[in-house]
Amino acid sequence: MIDIVITIVGTQKDEKGEESYIECTTKGRYYEKNNIRYIVYKDSEISGLDGVTTMLKVHDRHVALVRTGSVDHKQEFLLGQKSCSAYHTPYGTMQMNIQTNSLRIDLTSATGTVAIEYELEINGQWQSANTLSISIQEESISGY
């Protein structure tokens, strides 16, 4: 496992055209197993997912986002396809549909980016057009 620094930038545009933006930087771990690249980190209070562990499973042509903790969710990003999943929270379960419109994976070992553009439906209702950009780099040891 390699210690990494992860920068996550997300945008969301709703049906009224109003756009929201979130950016956070956190530490995490990177490893590879069976030709799948894993990025694992603890979510923060800023994201509204305090106490949740997020794992990105980066395959050659798709990405799976798996969240465990106070929420339980697995979301697949497959270019040009719609994926369906259940989002379990302490307050109930929502059905989520993701239509992935763009997916770019540029990872070389513990450095690189994953960029996703997708549309989100919750319980059959269109919610938003979204972008998600995840940049990782190996954590540097400073001071020596």
Helix (H) or strand (E) holding 63: strand 62-68
Region at 60 (left for phi over 0; alpha for psi -120 to 50; beta for the rest): alpha
Q: If we measure between CA atoms, which residue out of 90, 59, 55 comes closest to residue 74?
A: 55
| Per-residue model confidence as pLDDT tens digits over 46-72 | 555 667 899 999 999 999 999 998 888
CB hemisphere CA count around 13 (13 angstroms) = 7
pLDDT tens digits along 66-118: 999 888 899 999 999 999 999 888 888 999 999 999 999 999 888 999 999 99
Domains of the chain, first to last: 2-138 (2.40.128.20)
Q: pTM, whole model, 2 decimals?
A: 0.86
User: What is the Cα–Cα distance from 12 to 106, expressed in whole angstroms?
Assistant: 23
